[in-house]
Amino acid sequence: MAETEGPGARPARLGRVCRPAAPRRARRRGGGAVTASSAAPKARIHARIHAGAHRGHPLWIAWLVHRLSGLALAFFLPAHFLVLGLALNDPAALDGALRWMDNPWVKAAETGLVLLLGLHLFGGLRLLALEFLPWSPRQKTWAAAAVALACAVSAGFLLSAV
């Protein structure tokens, strides 16, 4: 059995049998190897992703808002449960907390919280539609609709709170 040249060389007979497989796209087109012209777009996309160019894309921003709103809601829940616990244990402390919540700054924070809740809810519905419905080229439109619905819900909350 003759060895081929180079480090990690395989026997010539195995080299014919155990060739590296061509990428699927190249096999579908009938080609066997990746050419320089077919590898160049992949390299450009790879370089673009690692350079952070995707961060300005509206759907990446929708992803980021969904994750950050989920984190903010997760930090809010313990405070919410604390206030609910006051209702069970100490009604006077609950009355004090409710008086504090009449502060305009707290009302503004509650409106922001409802905005985060709406963003997370409608962004999550968009993601469910993405998972379970056929792909739509209108993903940016759906993301914008989720933001618009969240703003409408928070504006309705603000108007009812004032």
Q: What is the pLDDT of residue 71?
A: 92
Whole-prediction pTM value?
A: 0.55
Q: What was the pLDDT predicted at 94?
A: 80
Task: Please report, in angstroms and rounded to a whole number, the separation of the first and last CA atoms in the chain.
Answer: 87
Determine the topology of domain 56-161 in CATH. Answer: 3 helical TM bundles of succinate and fumarate reductases (1.20.1300)
| Beta bridge partners of residue 11, listed in sequence order | 3
Q: What is the mean pLDDT of each run of 10 residues along the chain (162 residues)?
A: 54 52 51 54 63 75 88 89 82 83 87 88 85 80 86 85 70
What residue segments make up the domains of the chain, in order of their start? 12-51, 56-161
Tokens found for residue 62: 């929708």
Model pLDDT, residue 30 = 52
Coil vs helix vs strand at 3: strand
Residue 40: per-residue pLDDT: 64
Distances (CA, A) of 73 to 35, 66, 112, 116, 153: 49, 11, 11, 7, 16
**Residue for token pair 């080299």:** 15
